[in-house]
Chains A and B, each alone.
Chain A
Amino acid sequence: DAGITQSPRHKVTETGTPVTLRCHQTENHRYMYWYRQDPGHGLRLIHYSYGVKDTDKGEVSDGYSVSRSKTEDFLLTLESATSSQTSVYFCATTPGGPNTGELFFGEGSRLTVL
């Protein structure tokens, strides 16, 4: 299994506070992704990265920013958390090339915004 760890695994925060979720991988994979998963919506892509300092928006990027200063770390920041951002967040990676759809997922981070 790919070594992908997310932190924190659980977080409860107040509306309006900033939150940062961290994804760390030990596989030297080029591509990294942040998804959110909500009942009735499935997995939706927030942001992704195709290299150090190379990031782009996904389907539901409003209210989120990302940074990737090293191959192994991909940070997701909620600048001012809202209740609609209560969700389970998954980080995923893939080495790229012809098998870019073969994702390896982290354990998930459950965020509750009160």
Chain B
Amino acid sequence: QKEVEQNSGPLSVPEGAIASLNCTYSDRGSQSFFWYRQYSGKSPELIMSIYSNGDKEDGRFTAQLNKASQYVSLLIRDSQPSDSATYLCAVTPSGAGSYQLTFGKGTKLSVIP
């Protein structure tokens, strides 16, 4: 069973702080990693994708990937109340069917004004 694990939270951070969201995965051959944001009652939307080890920055968001440790994280700098949502980590498994995504259960983030 290929698994993606996330701390369910809730993770509470004050406005302006850095929020750090973490994800581990079991399939060592996974190649593609994604972060989706889901507001309450809404559908998920892609906010970051990362395919190689290291950091990838997009505005206030930074995705970090460490394949050796099977670990991917999302940092949100200068957190805003509008960042309050559930963040889903998703991984494309290796091998046949690599177009299927496996999602973690999500981490709920609450940014306190």
Contacts and interface: CB of A to CB of B under 8 A. Distances in A.
Given A101-B90, A102-B49, A45 B100 contact: yes
Q: Bin chain A's interface residue count.
A: 20 to 34
B99 A100 contact: yes
Interface of A: 31, 35, 40-45, 48, 50, 56, 58, 90, 94, 96, 99-108
B56 interface: no
Contacts, number: 53
Interface stretch (B14-22, B59-67, B70-78, B102-110): B102-110
22 contacts: A35-B103, A42-B104, A42-B105, A42-B106, A43-B88, A44-B103, A45-B101, A56-B97, A90-B43, A94-B99, A96-B99, A101-B32, A101-B33, A101-B34, A101-B49, A101-B92, A101-B99, A102-B34, A102-B49, A103-B36, A105-B45, A107-B43
A48 B44 contact: no
B46 interface: yes
Top 6 closest A-B pairs, CB basis? A42-B105, A105-B43, A100-B99, A43-B103, A101-B32, A101-B92
B98 interface: yes
A40 B105 contact: yes
Contacts of A90: 43-44
